[in-house]
Structure 1
């Protein structure tokens, strides 16, 4: 969902519409249940359309981030809550992160700090993000968010050779690549946006030689045939990776 408040402040900092008061009351039972599930084990945040007030019942996801929860525990809580609240949302997703991740001097650590500061609402537990400053809408923030794009491409190529659910893979490819596109568009247009759809349209204007129409369509109708994926990986996705590396940079371990 589009966040109409997302952009850049007069001082060049990232601006979003994320706020505790923006969360629709209908989602409170999900958030309370999630907080109870991680009680004493993790800090918990909500982000995405629920945090901006743009979520729609029952088709939106409830996206949560934990700081301190193990990956298996996060996966189990995601599964339990998704089943319990299937009438309110498409899925409840709990992503795990650690305090070490948050404190890291790496691009990844910087991206996590930007994300927590500007895109997440604290719900429960310790808040290691408390006191973080505003962050600039610049290449460093864009790299922190998507400098791992080349790593993801390697994983997608490997997955394509194995027993993978093609539609889910197509959705992952589209969402991640178009988020990288949003970073490129933001820097070129001296703005800040994570709006995949709007930035895909703008990218096609800026770079008609690297069209992302197929990726845009996969957001709504992911491919069912694996033969449709490889040409997109080798064509527009590879072009986006090269542009991102040249203009923004990849994570240092890429």
Structure 2
């Protein structure tokens, strides 16, 4: 029987835990906690890990470290500069990770009604508390329904023009690999949330996400499996990016809008 990431009542079980952090990553997680507290001081409400490290699936030298920081105020230029310095220092000092991603939001944004089924869900279900009071205590429980599908990934069509510009401007192998990795991840996760309400569960595993998607869209299954493979082992191939922005991406955006609608517009997106 498949484990679909839900409890006995059909609500999301929180993904990840500090106890699942692989031993190889314990040092960088400890450093992230200490350095984040020192860098932000009273500006910080709370900090969270997300991604493969707290899920226990990170690969030494291949996986990045992902942090979500909730500030007591909306992020300013100084806060973003601090995040860049923090990320660069962790990446340079710990070869076990391949990059650091830091998301910055004000606590009011994370708890807002507008973000209830996007950032709020992300914090409450996919993020592991690292520092400070857990904002998830102020958020509802979530089910894998159409509303969640719409508000998490129902904005792919709006993103595609920017993707095309970035793909066209990429010239170095490093840039191409970074874009193929990022676009692949996003497409696989969007493909999964497209079918999530029908499947009735949750997974963050990209390979499993592609397989679940393929059950409902067999004609696109091979493309999605290939995207999941590229997400794990990115390639410096412009043709892969072109296929994403000219074929798989537009098809997926149209199908998503037809089934779930488009994401509610935000007045002024925040974060980094």
Band of TM-score, shorter chain: 0.7 to 0.9
Deviates more, 1:167-176 or 1:210-219: 210-219
**In the alignment, which of 231, 243, 259 is matched to residue 219 of structure 1?**
231
Q: 1:169 aligns with which of 179, 182, 191?
A: 179
- Cα distance, 1:141 vs. partner? 2.1
What is the match of residue 152 of structure 1?
Answer: 159
Q: Distance in 2 between matches of 1:53 and 1:216?
A: 19
CA distance in 2, matches of 1:192, 1:150: 23
CA distance, structure 1, for counterparts of residue 61 and residue 215 of structure 2: 34
> 1:38, CA displacement in angstroms?
2.4
Contact 1:5 1:16 in 2 (8 A): no
Q: CA deviation at 1:5?
A: 5.8
Q: Output aligned runs, 1:1-254, within 5 Å.
A: 6-39=4-37, 40=41, 41-42=43-44, 43-68=46-71, 70-86=79-95, 88-106=96-114, 108-163=115-170, 165-210=175-220, 211-253=223-265
Distance 1:55 1:110 in 2: 27
Offset of residue 159 of structure 1: 1.1
Structure 1: gaps spanning 5 or more residues: none
More helix by share: 2
**C-alpha distance in 1 between matches for 2:97 and 2:132:** 24
TM-score normalised by length of structure 2: 0.81
SS in 1 for 2:169: coil
Count of aligned pairs between the two proteins? 249
Moved over 6 A (4+): none
- CA offsets per residue over residues 10-55 of structure 1, 9 Å max, x none? 3221124422332334433322322222222322111122212232
Contact 1:45 1:124 in 2 (8 A): yes
Cα distance in 2 for residues equivalent to 1:208 and 1:6: 21
Q: Which moved more, 1:76-85 or 1:57-66?
A: 57-66
Is this contact kept in 2: 1:71–1:95, CA < 8 A? Answer: no
Instruction: Please give the alpha-carbon distance, in whole angstroms, between the structure 2 residues aligned to 1:90 and 1:6.
Output: 29
The normalised TM-score by structure 1 is: 0.86
Q: Is the 8 A contact 1:78 1:94 kept in 2?
A: yes
Unaligned runs of 5+ in 2: 267-272
Q: Could you tell me which residue of structure 1 aligns to residue 270 of structure 2?
A: none
